[in-house]
Amino acid sequence: MVILMLNNHCNNHKIRIILSPNKAATHIMRTIIMFNLNQLHTELQRVMVMAMVRLRLHSVQSQPPL
C-alpha cells in the first residue's frame, strides 16, 4: 500500500492518495499532470533537495573520522 500526501498550495487542500504499489507509478504520473505542474514540480524539487541534504549529512556523520 502506497500513501501519498500532497499539499496543494493553491487552495491549501491536503490530497491523500492510497494506491496499491503496482498502480502507484501510473497514478502518480496522472496526478502530477492533473495538478499545477510548476508548483508541484518546485515542491518535489525542494523535497528531493532536502532529502539529498539529509542523506549527505547522515552519510558524513556515520563515517568514522580519518
Q: What is the pLDDT, as a whole number, of residue 42?
A: 77
**What's the domain range around 27?**
2-62
Mean pLDDT of all residues in 40-54: 76
Q: Which of 3-17, 18-32, 44-58 has the lowest mean pLDDT?
A: 3-17
| pLDDT of 59 | 67
Q: Which pLDDT band, with edges at 50, 70 and 90, does 48 fall under?
A: confident
3-state secondary structure of 25: helix
Q: How many domains does the chain have?
A: 1
Rounded CA separation 4/2 (Å)? 7
Please state, in angstroms and as integers, the Cα–Cα distance from residue 57 to each residue in 45, 49, 51, 61, 65, following that order.
18, 12, 10, 6, 14
Taking 70 as the threshold, does the pLDDT of residue 44 lie above it?
A: yes
